[in-house]
Amino acid sequence: MHAAPEMAAAEFARWQKLIEVRTGIHLPTHRKTFLQQALLTRMRELQQTDYNKYFVSLRDGAQAAIEWACLVDLLTVHETRFFRHPESYDLVRSFCRNLLQREPDSRQRSVQVWSVGCSTGEEVYSLAMLLQELQQETGPFYFGVTGTDISYPALASAREGIYHLRRLVGISEEQRATHFQALGDDYFQVVSPLRQRTCFVQGNVNDIRLAKQQMFDIIYCQNLLIYFQNDKRRELLNGLCEHLRPGGILVLAPGEVLRWQHPEMMRIDNKQCLAYSHRGDGRVAE
Ligand SMILES: C[S@@+](CC[C@H](N)C(=O)[O-])C[C@H]1O[C@@H](n2cnc3c(N)ncnc32)[C@H](O)[C@@H]1O
């Protein structure tokens, strides 16, 4: 890859601000090279060489919105994997068990989950597999897993649910046989009944307060907040809580937020996980 044209400090600050205002993502100075490379990649495709001209092209209008979506995809990190933090999935399983035990009428039993910053879908399908498997223990219940992400290409890939064998790390052979269909050449697709339990929607977590008031039992948000400044993290968490049903849980990745308190949320006593329970109707996770 060619070196990107050097970016002056003032130019960097201008890009930093644009990205933070629009996405919440904070690019510290040590990520200047990353920004330059991302811009260079896109500008080369457009046969542009001037940071300023490209900046102006992102400002207003429909074309600017399309261009912005392309750039955002280059600026976001999509690293993910199935059952990435197993202890958090154990916590979700335990929470759901309790939740379902409390509802004797199987027609009323349902679990709605939101995976925030779902990338290419591994997290959403891990949650869906977990809930599908839990039914063997609890009996039938309705569930749905919604994944949102700012990146359109990541979501397109998530909707297909096709993964190379290399990416099925964390999936047991039994799970592979149950939840995936072999497509050949070491590619596997999540089976249609499980995909039908999922839904992928483009959404910027930074605009959360504008989002439709859909409510969830579990909000699963891992490895997204790390790209935001501490104040922003706390602000986003406050926004997420507004989408949590009373008694629901919010699951983050360990260490992702410090000193966050919310009058309606209680830290779950679990040393391996960072999760909070909505003080509501007394549902508890163990
Ligand atoms: C590192 S991945 C984490 C994926 C998954 N949650 C996991 O833990 O494996 C972070 C994801 O957050 C998305 N993202 C970054 N900023 C976002 C924003 N402002 N709104 C929504 N999604 C965002 C990125 O596109 C990326 O797919």
- What does the pLDDT look like over 251-280, one tens digit per residue? 999 999 888 999 999 999 999 999 999 997
Mean pLDDT, residues 88-111: 92
Q: 200 CA to middle of ligand 1, Å?
A: 13
Instruction: Residue 26: count other Cβ atoms within 10 Å of its Cβ.
Output: 16
Q: What is the mean pLDDT of residues 31-56?
A: 92
All structural domains of the chain, each given as residue ranges with its CATH number in brackets, are: 9-75 (1.10.155.10), 86-278 (3.40.50.150)
User: Nearest-CA neighbor of 159 among 201, 131, 205, 193?
Assistant: 201
Q: How far is CA 99 from CA 86, 232, 283, in A?
A: 20, 31, 6
- Which has the closest alpha carbon to 55: 33, 41, 71? 71
Which residue spans within 45-179 are E strands per DSSP?
Answer: 110-116, 142-149, 162-164
**How far, in whole angstroms, is CA 75 from its chain's centroid?**
15
pLDDT at 284 over 50: no
Please give the Cα distance from 86 to 93 (Å, whole number). Answer: 11
Give the model confidence (pLDDT) of 171-197 as tens digits: 999 999 999 999 999 999 999 999 999
Query: What's the whole-number average pLDDT of the chain?
Result: 92
Segment 149-162 shows an average pLDDT of: 97
Q: What is the pLDDT of residue 74?
A: 95
Minimum-distance ligand 1 atom for the alpha carbon of 80:
9
- Looking at ligand 1, which residue's alpha carbon is closest to its atom 11? 117
Is residue 230 pLDDT above 50, yes or no? yes
Predicted local confidence at residue 107, as pLDDT: 82
The string of DSSP letters for 87-118 reads HHHHHHHHHHHHHHHT---GGG-EEEEEEES-
Q: What is the ipTM of this complex?
A: 0.99
The larger pLDDT score, comparing residue 102 to residue 151, is at: 151
